Structure 1
Amino acid sequence: MIQLRAIFRNASRHAEHSQFVKSRPTPRAWIATGPQQQHGTFYEFRTYYIQPHLNAAFLKLTNEKIHLRTAHSELIGYWSVEYGGLNQVFHIWQYDSYAQRASVRAALAQDPNWIEQYISKAMPMLSSQDNEVTYLVPWSKIQKPPKDGGVFELATFQMKPGGPAVWGKAFRAAVSTHTGSGYAHAVGVFHSEFGPLNQVHVLWWYESADQRAAIRHTSHEDARVVAAVRESAVYLVSQNNKLMFPCAFSPIK
């Protein structure tokens, strides 16, 4: 009888412990180690390197046939690189999911107009091409320039490992200081997912290349900008940039 009571007591304690474990909230880290996407939308960066003597022909063909491509998915912008890389075009495509991108690529492979009128002619003009999958950092969104025209700067920062959870606060302060002071317009801030990791890209807009030069000179004498950039630079490994002109068919221009 005593043994039976002991068995019941042990069973009761085990049941109570199991219920406590089930109801106890899952432990969470105080900081995450990567971007916290709230949805599946991502942006594919594509860079095409064009044979120098065919640069003009490639841009003309793309201008005439890009509608065959945009019939399948959304183009954010398309630019010709002027400084920081000759004979290059850079474009950004938006996808709702990886499944959507896969279906788009499959559809393009079966589209005779796209293949015959564009791909078969454009591909021989290229020497190479790169792509990268990026997400907007949690605190950024696509913001078109206040007006058409002007120039765009794609600034790429190689950051120390850890993602926006590590460098995000300091980097956001550096970007916000520039935008909040009226020095530049940020079209979007992107964090790499596939391709070179731990990269963040800022796409800036300026009215002209000369305006950008003047703004850089002024902002570098602004104590607020200097302080914010210095704090962000703690997480920086290297950086590079490109100055680009929007193509006539680019949605953002």
Structure 2
Amino acid sequence: MLKLFGSLRPAAALLRTASAAQPSACLSTGPQQEQRTFYEFRTYSIRPDQNAAFLKLTNEKIHLRTKHSELIGYWSVEYGGLNQVFHVWKYDSYSQRAAVRAALAQDPSWISEYISKALPMLTSQHNEVNYLVPWSRLKSPPQQGGVYELASFQMRPGGPAVWGSAFQASMLSHDFPGYGKLLGAFHSEFGLLNRVHVLWWFESADHRAEFRHKAHTDARVVAAVRSSVVHLDSQENQLMFPCPFSPMK
């Protein structure tokens, strides 16, 4: 019996040593979120026969919603999702959002004039909570008009501690030479985790196609993308037009 326990001690010690040597940082998401401000991304899918009616109603009644909290932008999806709208709302805290939702539930004008009419026009709703990544600031487009692209990246588990630097280099390699105007980069907190959204602005869809072609021939962009893509599982792009009432337009 003594020999049996004696033979197990070295094995147990080796297991403890191996466990301690594991790169625990690979499961870390990096530093805690410093900013309390977050952005709620909402995507509504509209019944095809109600798309025009929904946009008209929202254009007329959006003031009933924006009196409660700040709207960053509201877009109609042109490519990458038919009969959809995408909108972004800013909140300073979760308690503020809870208070806003409670106030909306008690707002008779909002209920009778908008939401009761809008909900039957929808087929689904989806939302996510996102924070700006540490190196990004929310910017305004250089001019009104143009088109917006929402590029969504599903990164491999590990968080910004693993892929943050490579992803930043990839995005900035497009932004600095002017292959697109980077308006903001966001990291998901609720919804699909390890998801990053990047909002771009272009003068037109044709300009976007032209700049994308140029970027593919830029050795610096190609190298940065290759370093980042090893952390990528999937990607989805949407081209969007701002609605007339959108603050970003």
Q: TM-score if structure 1 supplies the norm length?
A: 0.87
Residues 191 and 201 in structure 1, CA contact (< 8 A), matched pair in contact too: yes
Residues 35 and 138 in structure 1, CA contact (< 8 A), matched pair in contact too: no
1:107 aligns with 2:107: no
**Structure 2: gaps (5+ residues):** 1-23
Q: Deviations over 1:155-200 (max 9, x none)?
A: 0000011111211100100111111111111111000110111100
CA distance in 1, matches of 2:138, 2:35: 15
Q: TM-score if structure 2 supplies the norm length?
A: 0.88
Q: Deviations over 1:111-153 (max 9, x none)?
A: 0000000001000000111000111111111011100100000
Q: How does 1:38-187 map to 2 (within 5 A)?
A: 38-187=34-183
C-alpha distance 35-175 of structure 1, shift in aligned 2 (>3 A): farther
In structure 1, the partner of 2:206 is: 210
Instruction: Quote how far apart the aligned CAs of 1:35 are.
Output: 5.7
Larger gyration radius, structure 1 or structure 2: 1
RMSD across aligned C-alpha pairs, in angstroms?
1.2
Match for 1:74: what amino acid?
E
Q: Deviations over 1:25-74 (max 9, x none)?
A: xxxx9785246321211000000000000000000000000000000000
Q: How many residues are paired up?
A: 225
Deviating 4+ runs (over 3 angstroms):
29-32
CA distance in 1, matches of 2:34, 2:144: 30
Instruction: Quote how far apart the aligned CAs of 1:154 are.
Output: 0.4
Residues 25 and 161 in structure 2, CA contact (< 8 A), matched pair in contact too: no
Percent identity (aligned): 72
Q: Deviations over 1:95-121 (max 9, x none)?
A: 001000000000000000000000010
3-state SS, counterpart of residue 167 of structure 2:
helix
CA distance in 1, matches of 2:99, 2:113: 21
Instruction: Quote how far apart the aligned CAs of 1:79 are.
Output: 0.2
